């Protein structure tokens, strides 16, 4: 294909990321621009040059105590058996902390050790040693000492030291201006009316805020259409008016990806494609003396590419070290496969379960922003490593404070909408706690408890033989483990159908016969097991269902798909249908139980969780949603 005069380029380079970075850092040579600003307003700014104290603190001999100033030599004979009387104004002066000690006084006696006889006279029973309780000049800050080197990021107390030494206006490095250019015909602003094919532009705002966090000054350009001449003009102007230019999307090798050609025309391209995923299709170049970074359109790729290349440029400009994330060692809950020859950046959930950190990968799809937002950590698989086995210990970069991870309750298993409510309520009671949930389905939930990777699993597994929920599964899979199966909700499962049920679905045979596009759940999900049971009872098989292989990971995702196709149907819980204004036809009353180890059940975290579940406020909130009944005064189910 050949659009608008630019040839499609199918292959990207696989340049090592560190090499690509070194090249642009070397090419980034701008003169240091400093600005003088009031010290009181310099929080978070980087010093442009070393700063020295202009005056000492204290700048005079100051009393370090409330008491009296004396001449030490005149107190040597004071003794318990020989109290010494001193006269105000002659032998002593009253001083408070911070008061100057005039010559010839050279010691301070604490007020607690002074016996006041009258307005003019005091008595002491202990001598003073010279210079006792007197702060020497410069005890804190000495005039001319270096307070901070260049490239120091100023913290609150640093500003105090600057003021105290009369550095009231200080040289800081100008914030580098980073112009961010979103491009794409499909882009619309977030408040636009959405239609098929229109994508909300939000990467630009994210970039701007990363740049702000890293110490730069972002300038977010308006959306630019995919017109080479327009893009060229905008790039040239940005290179003129900013220190770094970021252009979003068009960085790959697709039919509308002309960015690399344009940069090549008006500047130099150093790199097109790095050996790292996601984030591979990045462009690094220079227009005049300004670095241009072309970042891919998929959000996760974009944020990583920005961190790899724009953050170090800003740090170089500010003369500061590139901040690194703290790391911890984690046990991997699942196998992680990586491609040789390219680094892999895997977003991870980290749970603190049974005294160890266990990490599991989130989706690796570069288009899933939430995988970045929800990540606790980042596992960087080096280019020469093919991956890790389940149970391996690996180092991950932390994306949240460790404390937050340590205090989280790891919830897994089946998805239910009330879990969000539970999390929010827990956080209201205990701001330091929250629930982190992974929607993996009931069976995977049981397995996570078995492997010690989660604290709680929500499960709803109907045993076709006993017609009982959950018990037989737990007894079989967790035989010998001391677990608690806690009755939580009764909820309605049923057909989620387009509004008005246009096709007229009433039972599972309708789904097959009326050839609707079925939206299924992933293997191991309780809802899928229910659907398979319904199929079996009706004498049907997977082959009879269009879309059987189409797997969604939550009730809401099923409802969203049904919402987008009037010839579709799904199986799920009532509130998911209600949330999207869809029709719902009940099929079963389910028992959705919470499975946990006894030790968690009896722990502080467990106690907090149970307390909320049993609170009248929570029950009321859940039942307001509809389709739910919270189990009253539940007793753990017997697993004997």
131 contact partners, CB below 8 Å, separation of at least 6? 72, 106, 107
Q: What character string, x for contact with a copy of itself (CB under 8 A) and - otherwise, covers 240-279?
A: ------------x-xxx-----------------------
Beta bridge partners of residue 292, listed in sequence order: 245, 285
| Residue 419 C-beta: closest distance to a copy of itself, Å | 9
Shortest distance in whole angstroms from residue 62 CB to a copy of itself: 8
Q: Is position 191 an interface residue for a copy of itself (rule: CB under 8 A)?
A: yes
Three-class SS state of 405: helix
Q: Which residues of 476-513 are buried (b: 16+ CB within 10 A; e: fewer)?
A: ebbeeeebbbbbbbbbbbbbbbbeebebebeebebbbe
Question: In angstroms, rounded to a whole number, what is the distance separating the alpha carbons of residues 486 and 637?
Answer: 6
Based on CB atoms, which residue is closest to a copy of itself, 57 or 446? 57
Restricting to residues 395-424, name those near a copy of itself by CB under 8 A. Answer: 401-404, 407, 420, 423-424
Residue from 36, 190, 340, 479 binding a copy of itself (CB under 8 A)? 190
Cα 411 from Cα 438, distance rounded (Å): 6
Write each residue from 170 to 189 as x if it is in contact with a copy of itself (CB under 8 A), else as -, in one continuous string. ----------------x---
Q: How far from chain centre, in Å, is Cα 623?
A: 32
34 binds a copy of itself (CB under 8 A): no
Q: Which is nearer to a copy of itself, 209 or 268 (CB)?
A: 209
Does residue 98 interact with a copy of itself by CB under 8 A?
yes
DSSP letters, 259-325, are: HHHHHHHHSEEEEE-BSEESS-S-EEEEETTEEEEEE-SSHHHHHHHIIIIIHHHHHHHHT-PPP--
CB of 596 to a copy of itself, least distance (A): 21
Closest distance to a copy of itself from the beta carbon of 208 (Å): 8
- Site map (CB under 8 A) of a copy of itself, residues 198-237, x = contact: -xxxxx-xxxxxx-xx------------------------
Residues 543-572 that bind a copy of itself (CB under 8 A): 547, 549-550, 552, 554, 556-557, 559-561, 563-565
Binding-site string for a copy of itself from residue 418 to residue 457, where x marks contact by CB under 8 A and - marks none = --x--xx--xx--xxxx-----------------------
DSSP states along 114-142: -EE-SSSEEEESSPPPTTTTEEPTTSSB-
- Decide: residue 607, CB within 10 A, 0-12 exposed, 13-18 middle, 19+ buried: exposed
Should residue 168 be labelled a site residue for a copy of itself when binding is judged by CB under 8 A?
Answer: yes
Do 85 and 121 form a contact (C-beta atoms < 8 A)? Answer: yes
Q: Pattern 61-90, binding to a copy of itself, x per CB under 8 A?
A: x--x-x------------------------
List binders of a copy of itself among 573-632 (CB under 8 A): 576, 579-580
Q: Which of 176, 216, 278, 297 binds a copy of itself (CB under 8 A)?
A: 297
Size of the site for a copy of itself (CB under 8 A): 128
Report d(CA 413, CA 442) in Å as an integer.
4
3-state secondary structure of 462: strand
């Amino acid at each position: 294909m050949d659009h608008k005069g630019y040839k499609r380029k199918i292959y990207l380079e696989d340049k090592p990321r560190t090499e690509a970075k070194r090249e642009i850092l070397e090419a980034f040579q701008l003169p240091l621009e400093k600005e003088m600003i009031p010290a009181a307003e310099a929080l978070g700014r980087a010093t442009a040059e070393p700063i020295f104290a202009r005056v000492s603190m204290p700048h005079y001999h100051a009393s370090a105590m409330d008491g009296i100033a004396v001449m030490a030599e005149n107190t040597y004979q004071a003794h318990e058996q020989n109290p010494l009387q001193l006269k105000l104004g002659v032998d002593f002066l009253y001083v408070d902390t911070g008061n100057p000690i005039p010559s010839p006084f050279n010691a301070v006696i604490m007020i607690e050790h002074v016996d006041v006889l009258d307005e003019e006279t005091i008595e002491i029973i202990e001598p003073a040693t010279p210079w006792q309780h007197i702060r020497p000049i410069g005890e804190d800050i000495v005039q001319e000492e270096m307070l901070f080197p260049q490239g120091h990021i100023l913290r609150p107390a640093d500003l105090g030291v600057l003021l105290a030494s009369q550095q009231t206006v200080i040289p800081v490095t100008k914030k580098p201006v980073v112009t961010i250019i979103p491009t794409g015909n499909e882009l619309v602003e977030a408040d636009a009316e959405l239609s098929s094919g229109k994508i909300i532009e939000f990467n630009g705002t994210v970039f701007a805020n990363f740049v702000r966090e890293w110490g730069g000054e972002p300038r977010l350009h308006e959306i630019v259409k995919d017109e080479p001449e327009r893009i060229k003009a905008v790039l040239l102007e940005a290179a003129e008016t900013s220190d770094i230019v970021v252009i979003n999307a068009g960085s790959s090798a697709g039919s509308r990806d002309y960015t690399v050609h344009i940069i090549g025309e008006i500047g130099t391209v150093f790199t097109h494609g790095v050996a790292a995923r996601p984030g591979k299709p990045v462009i690094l170049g220079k227009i005049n003396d300004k670095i241009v970074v072309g970042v891919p359109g998929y959000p996760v790729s974009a944020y990583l590419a920005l961190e790899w290349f724009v953050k170090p440029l800003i740090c170089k400009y500010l003369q500061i070290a590139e901040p690194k994330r703290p790391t911890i060692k984690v046990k991997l809950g699942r196998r992680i496969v990586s491609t040789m020859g390219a680094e892999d950046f895997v977003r991870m959930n980290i749970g603190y379960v049974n005294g160890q950190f266990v990490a599991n990968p989130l989706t690796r799809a570069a288009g899933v922003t939430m995988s970045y937002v929800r990540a606790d950590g980042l596992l960087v698989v080096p280019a020469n490593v093919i991956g890790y086995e389940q149970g391996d210990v690996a180092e991950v970069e932390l994306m949240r404070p460790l404390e937050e991870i340590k205090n989280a309750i790891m919830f897994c298993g089946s998805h239910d909408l009330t879990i969000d409510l539970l999390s929010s309520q827990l956080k209201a009671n205990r701001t330091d706690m929250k629930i982190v949930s992974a929607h993996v389905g009931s069976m995977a939930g049981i397995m996570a408890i078995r492997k010690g990777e989660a604290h709680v699993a929500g499960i709803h597994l109907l045993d076709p033989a006993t017609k009982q929920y959950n018990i037989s599964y737990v007894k079989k899979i967790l035989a010998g483990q001391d677990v608690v199966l806690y009755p939580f909700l009764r909820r309605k499962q049923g057909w989620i159908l387009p509004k008005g049920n246009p096709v007229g679905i009433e039972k599972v045979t309708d789904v097959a016969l009326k050839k609707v596009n079925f939206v299924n759940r992933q293997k191991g999900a309780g809802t899928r097991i229910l659907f398979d049971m319904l199929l079996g009872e009706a004498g049907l098989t997977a082959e009879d269902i269009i879309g059987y292989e189409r797997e969604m990971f939550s009730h809401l995702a099923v409802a969203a798909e049904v919402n987008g196709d009037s010839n579709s149907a799904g199986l799920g819980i009532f509130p998911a249908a209600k949330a999207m204004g869809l029709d719902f036809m009940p099929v079963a009353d389910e028992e959705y139980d919470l499975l946990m180890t006894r030790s968690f059940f009896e722990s502080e975290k467990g106690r907090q969780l149970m307390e909320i579940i049993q609170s009248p406020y929570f029950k009321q909130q859940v039942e307001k949603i509809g389709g739910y009944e919270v189990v009253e005064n539940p007793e753990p189910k017997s697993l004997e």
